[in-house]
Amino acid sequence: EPEVTQTPSHQVTQMGQEVILRCVPISNHLYFYWYRQILGQKVEFLVSFYNNEISEKSEIFDDQFSVERPDGSNFTLKIRSTKLEDSAMYFCASRQDGDYGYTFGSGTRLTVV
C-alpha cells in the first residue's frame, strides 16, 4: 500500500534555529496538508496546499512558517525561527482528487530546546 514518507523521524533544534521538515506524498495525490499534535493533545490543522499554492492556513501558521513543493515530489514545512512552543509531532498528509480519505505520514517529532 502506498505511504506518505516523512523525514526526519525526530529532530532536536535550538530555539531560534530554522528547521525543515520533509514529506514525500503519495505520487498521484493532489492535495497536501501539514498538521501538528502537541504531546497529549488533539491533531491541529496547519496548512493545505494544492496546485502549487497554499489553499488555506490556520492561525497557527504565522509568518514563521512556510511550505514548498520544490521538485514535484517533496513537500516541505519550514519553521524560520523555532520557539519552545513549536515542539510537537508534525504530520504530513495527502489526498487524491475525488477521494475523501487522507493518508497520514508517520510524523516528525520536533523538540525545541
Rule CB under 8 A: which residues touch other proteins? 31, 33, 35, 41-45, 48, 50, 55-56, 91, 97, 100-102, 104-107, 109
CB of residue 51 to other proteins, shortest distance in Å: 9
Q: What are phi and psi of 30, to 5 degrees?
A: -115, -15
* Phi and psi torsions of 41, nearest 5°: -115, -175
Q: Least distance in Å: CB of 16 to other proteins? A: 27
Closest to other proteins by CB, 42 or 63: 42
To the nearest whole angstrom, how small is the minimum distance from the Cβ of residue 76 to other proteins? Answer: 18
Within its chain, how far is the Cα of 34 from the centroid?
A: 3
Q: Report the run of H or E that residue 55 belongs to, with start and end.
A: strand 53-57
